[in-house]
A = this chain, B = another copy of it.
Amino acid sequence: MERFVEQALLYDFYGELLTDNQKQLFEDVVLSDYSITEVAEEKGISRQGVHDQLKRTNKVLQGYEEKLHLVEKFLHIKDKVHQIHKVVEQKETLEKDKLVEKIEKISNEILEEL
Protein backbone atom coordinates (compact mmCIF):
# COMPACT_ATOMS: atom_id res chain seq x y z
CA MET A 1 0.00 0.00 0.00
CA GLU A 2 1.15 3.50 -0.71
CA ARG A 3 2.77 5.08 2.34
CA PHE A 4 0.41 8.05 2.46
CA VAL A 5 -2.70 5.88 2.17
CA GLU A 6 -1.44 3.63 4.92
CA GLN A 7 -0.74 6.57 7.22
CA ALA A 8 -4.12 8.15 6.50
CA LEU A 9 -5.93 4.87 7.18
CA LEU A 10 -4.14 4.32 10.47
CA TYR A 11 -4.95 7.88 11.48
CA ASP A 12 -8.56 7.42 10.47
CA PHE A 13 -8.89 4.37 12.70
CA TYR A 14 -6.72 5.19 15.69
CA GLY A 15 -6.18 8.95 15.50
CA GLU A 16 -8.55 9.61 18.38
CA LEU A 17 -6.15 7.80 20.69
CA LEU A 18 -3.41 10.36 20.03
CA THR A 19 -2.81 13.50 22.07
CA ASP A 20 -4.06 16.80 20.63
CA ASN A 21 -0.48 17.77 19.91
CA GLN A 22 0.21 14.56 17.99
CA LYS A 23 -3.03 14.95 16.09
CA GLN A 24 -2.35 18.50 15.02
CA LEU A 25 1.17 17.76 13.82
CA PHE A 26 0.00 14.71 11.92
CA GLU A 27 -2.83 16.63 10.27
CA ASP A 28 -0.58 19.53 9.30
CA VAL A 29 2.26 17.50 7.85
CA VAL A 30 0.63 14.33 6.55
CA LEU A 31 -2.96 15.26 5.75
CA SER A 32 -2.79 18.99 4.95
CA ASP A 33 0.57 18.80 3.24
CA TYR A 34 2.27 21.75 4.92
CA SER A 35 6.03 21.51 4.62
CA ILE A 36 8.14 20.38 7.55
CA THR A 37 9.77 23.83 7.47
CA GLU A 38 6.45 25.66 7.73
CA VAL A 39 5.27 23.54 10.65
CA ALA A 40 8.62 23.84 12.42
CA GLU A 41 8.48 27.62 12.12
CA GLU A 42 4.91 27.83 13.28
CA LYS A 43 5.60 25.66 16.32
CA GLY A 44 8.95 27.26 17.02
CA ILE A 45 10.78 23.94 16.99
CA SER A 46 13.50 22.55 14.73
CA ARG A 47 12.79 20.64 11.53
CA GLN A 48 14.40 17.64 13.21
CA GLY A 49 11.96 18.08 16.09
CA VAL A 50 9.02 17.90 13.72
CA HIS A 51 10.52 14.81 12.08
CA ASP A 52 11.03 13.10 15.41
CA GLN A 53 7.54 13.84 16.69
CA LEU A 54 5.99 12.62 13.49
CA LYS A 55 8.04 9.44 13.57
CA ARG A 56 6.88 8.78 17.12
CA THR A 57 3.25 9.38 16.16
CA ASN A 58 3.51 6.96 13.25
CA LYS A 59 5.00 4.40 15.61
CA VAL A 60 2.11 4.84 18.03
CA LEU A 61 -0.43 4.34 15.23
CA GLN A 62 1.41 1.29 13.92
CA GLY A 63 1.57 -0.08 17.44
CA TYR A 64 -2.21 0.02 17.68
CA GLU A 65 -2.56 -1.78 14.37
CA GLU A 66 -0.06 -4.44 15.39
CA LYS A 67 -2.17 -5.13 18.46
CA LEU A 68 -5.68 -4.78 17.04
CA HIS A 69 -5.37 -5.44 13.25
CA LEU A 70 -8.59 -3.53 12.65
CA VAL A 71 -7.43 -1.71 9.52
CA GLU A 72 -6.40 -5.06 8.06
CA LYS A 73 -9.78 -6.53 8.96
CA PHE A 74 -11.65 -3.61 7.40
CA LEU A 75 -9.63 -3.71 4.20
CA HIS A 76 -10.35 -7.39 3.89
CA ILE A 77 -14.09 -6.83 4.25
CA LYS A 78 -13.93 -3.98 1.76
CA ASP A 79 -12.26 -6.27 -0.73
CA LYS A 80 -15.03 -8.85 -0.30
CA VAL A 81 -17.76 -6.25 -0.81
CA HIS A 82 -16.00 -5.20 -4.01
CA GLN A 83 -16.15 -8.85 -5.06
CA ILE A 84 -19.92 -8.76 -4.55
CA HIS A 85 -20.02 -5.70 -6.80
CA LYS A 86 -18.09 -7.50 -9.48
CA VAL A 87 -20.53 -10.39 -9.41
CA VAL A 88 -23.43 -7.96 -9.67
CA GLU A 89 -21.80 -6.32 -12.66
CA GLN A 90 -21.93 -9.66 -14.47
CA LYS A 91 -25.71 -9.77 -14.14
CA GLU A 92 -26.27 -9.79 -17.91
CA THR A 93 -24.19 -12.89 -18.51
CA LEU A 94 -24.57 -14.77 -15.26
CA GLU A 95 -27.59 -16.96 -14.56
CA LYS A 96 -29.62 -16.09 -11.50
CA ASP A 97 -28.73 -19.29 -9.62
CA LYS A 98 -25.03 -18.85 -10.24
CA LEU A 99 -25.19 -15.20 -9.28
CA VAL A 100 -27.00 -15.96 -6.04
CA GLU A 101 -24.60 -18.77 -5.23
CA LYS A 102 -21.57 -16.53 -5.65
CA ILE A 103 -23.01 -13.71 -3.57
CA GLU A 104 -24.04 -16.13 -0.85
CA LYS A 105 -20.52 -17.53 -0.70
CA ILE A 106 -18.86 -14.13 -0.44
CA SER A 107 -21.31 -12.78 2.12
CA ASN A 108 -20.78 -15.88 4.24
CA GLU A 109 -17.06 -15.26 4.09
CA ILE A 110 -17.62 -11.71 5.31
CA LEU A 111 -19.79 -12.87 8.21
CA GLU A 112 -17.13 -15.35 9.27
CA GLU A 113 -14.78 -12.43 9.76
CA LEU A 114 -17.19 -10.20 11.62
Chain A residues in contact with chain B, CB under 8 A? 13-14, 16-17, 64, 67-68, 70, 74, 77-78, 81-82, 84-85, 88, 91, 96-97, 99-100, 103-104, 107, 110-111, 114
Contact = CB atoms under 8 A, between A and B. Distances in A.
Given A17-B67, A67-B16, A104 B88 contact: yes
A64 B64 CA distance: 12
B77 A114 contact: yes
Main secondary structure of the interface of A (DSSP, over half): helix
A26 B103 CA distance: 38
A14 to B, nearest CB: 7
Contacts of A110: 77, 81
B88 A100 contact: yes
Contacts of A99: 96, 99-100
A81 B107 CA distance: 6
